[in-house]
């Protein structure tokens, strides 16, 4: 069962079931296959967000092999969801997979033309930061 609370006017980030997330992060590289399968055929946006959050946490823990999930992650490169964009940009920022650079620009331009509505945060902050990290 998924447990994701979306950002709201008083909190500009998602909240997840930390016990579940921590258990998945501890799986390390062994857990990447399950995440890849989930990203390939998600049931809903909440499942995608949870998977992306787990990958971000795994990157913080030094788990190897996440860059190899780019083909599964790239499925979301054209998303309009500011939540997915933000987590995806964070993953690309940390892995610096070469193919992630172009989609970050696309997200930035897409959001400049059609800014996300009813979003309590600006996804372009993370997207722009990821682009700057690529350029550094």
Range of the domain at 116: 4-135
Q: How many domains does the chain have?
A: 1
Sorting pLDDT into bands at 50, 70 and 90, what band is 37? very high
Strand partners, 16: 4
What's the pLDDT score for residue 1? Answer: 56
DSSP state of 64: S
d(CA 84, CA 93): 14
Mean pLDDT, rounded, of the chain: 96
Query: Is the separation of the CB atoms in 14 and 53 below 8 Å?
Result: yes
User: How much is the pTM?
Assistant: 0.94
Residue with tokens 């933000």: 86
The CA-to-CA distance between both ends of the chain, in Å, stands at 40
Query: Which of these, 58, 48, 47, 68, lies nearest to 24 by C-alpha position?
Result: 58
Asked whether the predicted pLDDT for residue 15 surpasses 60, the reply is yes
Query: Is the separation of the CB atoms in 4 and 46 below 8 Å?
Result: yes
Asked whether the predicted pLDDT for residue 2 surpasses 70, the reply is no
Asked whether the predicted pLDDT for residue 3 surpasses 90, the reply is no
Distance of alpha carbon 135 from its chain centroid, rounded?
20
Report pLDDT digits (tens) over 54-107: 999 999 999 999 999 999 999 999 999 999 999 999 999 999 999 999 999 999
């Amino acid at each position: 069962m998924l447990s994701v609370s979306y950002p709201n006017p008083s909190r500009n980030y998602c909240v997840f079931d930390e016990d579940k997330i921590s258990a998945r992060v501890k799986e390390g590289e062994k857990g990447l296959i399950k995440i890849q399968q989930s990203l390939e055929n998600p049931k809903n946006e909440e499942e995608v967000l949870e998977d992306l959050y787990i990958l971000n946490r795994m990157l913080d823990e030094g788990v190897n092999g996440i860059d190899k999930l780019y083909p599964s992650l790239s499925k979301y490169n054209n998303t309009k969801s500011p939540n997915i964009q933000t987590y995806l940009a964070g993953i690309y920022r940390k892995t610096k997979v070469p193919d992630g650079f172009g989609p970050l620009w696309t997200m930035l331009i897409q959001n400049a033309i059609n800014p996300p509505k009813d979003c309590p945060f600006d996804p372009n902050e993370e997207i722009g930061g990821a682009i700057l990290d690529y350029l550094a």
